[in-house]
Amino acid sequence: MTQLFSGRLDYNASPDLTWSNLVQYDSISRILGFQSRFRWILKPGNDLFLVVSRGWFRRSDGEYVPSFDTGSAKLQYTIRL
């Protein structure tokens, strides 16, 4: 049976600036993952996203070893005519 543990912490500094964090653990894959996402709405239709993810694998001795690190950025720009 799979057990999934999850926790979330979000911070909204303003309607245009948010920071979201998620931590999850899956008992079958034994992966502990963390994702942090920053969103800034420059003006309606124009957004900047920054995302960082990190994961650790839990070995049979209970120790966590790093398994992945990723990061990405996205700029969304809307042109209105």
Q: What is the DSSP track for 6-33?
A: EEEEEEEEETTEEEEEEEEEETTTTEEE
- Reduced to 3 states (helix: H, G, I; strand: E, B; else coil), residue 63 is coil
pLDDT tens series, the chain, 81 aa: 889 999 999 999 999 999 999 999 999 999 999 999 999 999 988 999 999 999 999 999 999 999 999 999 999 999 888
pLDDT value for 1? 83
- Token pair for 55: 């994961």
